[in-house]
Structure 1
């Protein structure tokens, strides 16, 4: 009577995953793209800040945008006026520091003809002081232009609200985390399956009882393990070395890792598609770059998409990395839960359905 254990595809899947993970860890390019590049960008941007100084000012609904005060502000290059936000979003963004101030200009049938109400935030005192200085200069110039001495044309009413400081690391780290996940998902998956086909490893697997889904799941499990470990490393380095905000501590870390898991799963779909389209290893980078480069540049990885021209903002809104980055920032800084970023997850899910449908059509098991 034989004591041989029955064959287990689960064990085969785990064995493939372990072997693939060891292979990833031995690959310099995988470590560089997943860990080294994102950390280098985090160090650089965390220390130099966001580049040139820009004061983001929300304009209250109903504000007089035809007034000389508003027109004068539009000519100041460092002031970026936003007229698109609702009152609730103005309040929320002011408190979290993504707006430096909110301005409301009212025209009245009394003296003075204009009243300017400005709310600053303690989360951005330095930029608030810049705006305060600019406004005082503008109002002095307008009031001084009146030939007669009495009442001023404009009066200024100021208020400072409490808020949590929104540091540049709070913007840049989620973007670099997305950069890492996209690189791991696309380049890692594309290269490995193309290599497995060309070296006939997959063909040898077919001579064993290993199921096809075990090969796929094993490789995916290895990349997910590597990607999430890298994500955790980036988050913790960012928090302890540069003060990256984790509003709810370890709960926030777990929520970010859940988002990272969904993002990586979808980005691997792009990798499967590339591996099917590529004829050889030299054709993988060009095809992969067509997918990754627009997302690196247009998805708020390095710079806020609000600074882009309108046409680029519309393109940005379509890209999956944009929604992953936005969800990461909401969870980390604003304290949103997974349920609060449902819109972003639904868009990622839609991308997942589409890209895996394409991957099924293009993926090849043999050369």
Structure 2
């Protein structure tokens, strides 16, 4: 028994070691993740709270000035300058910042639905260095979006991303490795017919599962769509299609499941953390914001949040739809040109 187990153990290890691309990715992938996170979330930039500031550099009163100077010295808080309250208030309502301070009037706002806003307010009040009142609190104007409602479009988008990338890319690679594509190549089936069937199948399953999750969460938590359901459906369709097209580029020639899995993980991890699925990138490095705009997940989530949280219509999300359509076209053409039935 042990001899048979040892023989299979050695055989599997040799099979893995012969796949040089898989070995390389198993070593390089965690290193790349660590390097990426060290650049984005270094100790010096480890931000726990984000505070927006509008108004002049000097506060309206000496007490407010002293309180603000003491507050600014607090570590792990990112202070972001805005030109006006109308510009900054939507950021507060959508949990992109935790607190908003107006130095010109000596007032501040925080969201009632934000736990971080509560802590930031306590830290501001604890920074008062004189018994004289410094900043005073004002009521937030506008519709506050609970964090769970802000998070919901991101979760739906993330689910679509994983379903599209691994549901098509990984499956096609498995077909090639197991010889399924080789057998299909001697049938009348054309490559574009095979790829079309894969895309349509995954789009159908993706939209059905997303609809089930959406309806279930809407019933349980009472989520609402303030915009058009048809526009939201179009966003998810284009977003899912762009992800599927991207997965075809990965699966076009590879016959190694380990290598394809490494590439897909290398794609999904940055998108998951830099597309504002869990948290806002407000105040992040400018290069991080620029890189995030190249991700299809960023465009899909951005458009979905505008529709679900803000009631935006087709015109307000047309730029995101155009970018998703352009990405889909580029990925689809690239994947189709590179596709081959046989192992390389």
**Same fold by TM (over 0.5)?**
yes
Q: Comparing 273-282 with 258-267, which one deviates more in the overlay?
A: 273-282
For 1:180 and 1:135, how far apart are their aligned partners in 2?
38
Matches within 5 A, 1:163-174: 163-174=142-153
Q: Comparing 261-270 with 160-169, which one deviates more in the overlay?
A: 160-169
Instruction: Give the counterpart of 2:233 among 253, 257, 262.
Output: 257
For 1:186 and 1:168, how far apart are their aligned partners in 2?
27
Q: Comparing 90-99 with 274-283, which one deviates more in the overlay?
A: 90-99
Instruction: Give the counterpart of 2:70 among 66, 72, 81.
Output: 72
Instruction: Give the counterpart of 1:295 among 261, 271, 274.
Output: 271
CA displacement at 1:160 relative to structure 2: 0.8
Q: Comparing 219-228 with 65-74, which one deviates more in the overlay?
A: 65-74
CA displacement at 1:182 relative to structure 2: 1.6
**Conserved in 2, the CA contact under 8 Å of 1:58 and 1:103?**
yes
Alignment match, 2:10 = none
Considering only CA atoms, is the larger Rg found in Structure 1 or Structure 2?
A: 1
Instruction: Give the counterpart of 2:81 among 80, 83, 89.
Output: 83
CA displacement at 1:191 relative to structure 2: 2.6
For 2:142 and 2:96, how far apart are their aligned partners in 1?
10
**Conserved in 1, the CA contact under 8 Å of 2:149 and 2:309?**
yes
For 1:86 and 1:105, how far apart are their aligned partners in 2?
11
CA displacement at 1:95 relative to structure 2: 4.6
**Conserved in 2, the CA contact under 8 Å of 1:119 and 1:159?**
yes
Instruction: Give the counterpart of 1:181 among 160, 163, 167.
Output: 160
For 1:94 and 1:179, how far apart are their aligned partners in 2?
24
Gaps of 5+ in 2: 1-46
Cα root mean square deviation, aligned:
3.4
Q: TM-score, normalised by structure 2?
A: 0.71
Q: Comparing 297-306 with 62-71, which one deviates more in the overlay?
A: 62-71
**Conserved in 2, the CA contact under 8 Å of 1:61 and 1:86?**
yes
**Conserved in 1, the CA contact under 8 Å of 2:52 and 2:100?**
yes
**Conserved in 2, the CA contact under 8 Å of 1:65 and 1:71?**
no
For 1:278 and 1:213, how far apart are their aligned partners in 2?
18
Instruction: Give the counterpart of 1:58 among 35, 44, 52.
Output: 52
CA displacement at 1:204 relative to structure 2: 4.8
**Conserved in 1, the CA contact under 8 Å of 2:158 and 2:272?**
yes
Alignment match, 1:30 = none
Alignment match, 1:282 = 258
CA displacement at 1:265 relative to structure 2: 0.9
**Conserved in 1, the CA contact under 8 Å of 2:176 and 2:255?**
no
For 1:313 and 1:61, how far apart are their aligned partners in 2?
25
CA displacement at 1:75 relative to structure 2: 2.4
**Conserved in 2, the CA contact under 8 Å of 1:169 and 1:242?**
no
CA displacement at 1:98 relative to structure 2: 4.6
CA displacement at 1:341 relative to structure 2: 1.6
Q: Does residue 306 of the first structure (1) align with residue 282 of the second (2)? A: yes
Cα distance, 1:87–1:350 mapped onto 2, change above 3 Å: farther
Instruction: Give the counterpart of 1:116 among 89, 93, 106.
Output: 106
CA distances 1:91-149 after superposition (whole Å, capped 9, x unpaired): 3334556545432213xxxxxxxx5133455555x66665555444444x2x45xxxxx
Instruction: Give the counterpart of 2:220 among 226, 241, 257.
Output: 241
Secondary structure in 2 matching 1:161: coil
CA displacement at 1:322 relative to structure 2: 1.9
Q: TM-score, normalised by structure 1?
A: 0.67
CA displacement at 1:317 relative to structure 2: 3.1
Q: Comparing 128-137 with 310-319, which one deviates more in the overlay?
A: 128-137
